[in-house]
Amino acid sequence: MQTPGMSPMPQVGAAGRPQPQTTQQATTGPFLRHARAASRPGYAITTNYSAQITNPLASAPGYMRWLDLTFVANAGTTTGAAFQADGPYNLATLIQVRDPWGTPLITGDGYSILYLLAKYGGQFFSPLYPANTSSQLPSFVTVSATTGAYTFHSMVPLEGTKGYGVVSIGNSSVMPTLTMALSSAATVLSGTLTTPGTISATVDEFYYDIDPTYPVEPPGNGSTFQTSVVVGNQTIGANSSTRVQLPRTGGYLTSLVLVARDANGVRQDIWNSTGRVRVYIDGVPRFDETFIQLQDRMYAMTNGTPRDTGVAAYSLFKASLSQLTLGYLDTLEQALQTNPGTLVEVEMTPWGSGGTSPYQLQAIVTQLVPSGPVAQGLPEV
- Tell me which of 23-37, 70-84, 274-288 is least confident: 23-37
DSSP 8-state assignment for residue 282:
T
Strands (E), 150-282: 150-157, 167-168, 177-182, 189-195, 199-209, 224-231, 243-246, 252-261, 276-281
Q: Where are the domains of the chain?
A: 32-209, 224-369
Q: Are 124 and 255 in contact (CB under 8 A)?
A: no
The whole-number pLDDT of residue 107 equals: 98
Q: Which residue has the higher pLDDT, 147 or 33?
A: 147
Give the mean model confidence (pLDDT) for residues 46-55: 98
CATH 3.90.550.10 fits 32-209, yes or no: no
Question: 11: which residues sit within 8 A by CB, 6+ positions away?
Answer: none
Question: How many angstroms separate the Cα of 147 from the Cα of each of 17, 49, 144?
Answer: 59, 15, 5
3-state SS, residue 294: helix
Say which residues have a Cβ less than 8 Å from residue 20's Cβ, sequence separation at least 6: none
CA 178 to chain centroid, in Å, comes to 15
Q: Residue 6's pLDDT is what? A: 52
Question: 32-209 with 224-369: one CATH topology?
Answer: no
> What secondary structure does DSSP assign to 23-73, as a single string?
----S-S-HHHH-EEEEEEEEEEEE-TT-EE-PPPPP-SEEEEEEEEEEEE
User: Could you write out the DSSP letters of every residue in 347-373?
Assistant: EEET----SSSSBEEEEEEEEEE-SSS
Is 104:229 a contact under the CB 8 Å cutoff? no
With cut-offs at 50, 70 and 90, classify the pLDDT of residue 80: very high
- Check whether 352 has a pLDDT greater than 80: yes
366 pLDDT higher than 60: yes
Report which secondary-structure segment, H or E, holds 298: helix 291-301
What pTM did the predictor assign? 0.92
The pLDDT-based confidence of 118 (bands split at 50, 70, 90) is very high
Confidence of residue 100 (pLDDT cuts 50, 70, 90): very high
Band the pLDDT of 11: cuts 50, 70, 90.
low
How far apart are the C-alpha atoms of 140 and 127, rounded to whole Å? 18
pLDDT at 14: 54
Mean pLDDT of the chain: 93
Q: Is the pLDDT of residue 148 over 90?
A: yes
**In the predicted model, is pLDDT for residue 361 greater than 70?**
yes
d(CA 194, CA 196): 6
Q: Residue 381 above 70 pLDDT?
A: no
Residues 6 or more apart from 284 whose CB is under 8 A from it?
A: none
Q: What b-and-e string marks burial along 282-314, b requiring 16 or more CB atoms within 10 Å of the CB?
A: eeeeebeeebeebbebbeebbeebebbebbbbb
Per-residue pLDDT band at 163 (split at 50, 70, 90): very high
Distance CA 72, CA 96 (A): 20
Confidence grade of residue 244 (pLDDT, cut at 50, 70, 90): very high
Query: pLDDT per residue over 219-236, tens digit each?
Result: 999 999 999 999 999 999
Residue 212: what pLDDT?
82
Q: Sorting pLDDT into bands at 50, 70 and 90, what band is 349?
A: very high
Pick from 16-20, 244-248, 313-317, 334-338: least confident? 16-20
283-303 residue pLDDT tens = 999 999 999 999 999 999 999
Q: What is the pLDDT of residue 29?
A: 73
Architecture of the domain delimited by 224-369: Sandwich (2.60)
pLDDT at site 379: 66
- The H or E element spanning position 290 is strand 284-290
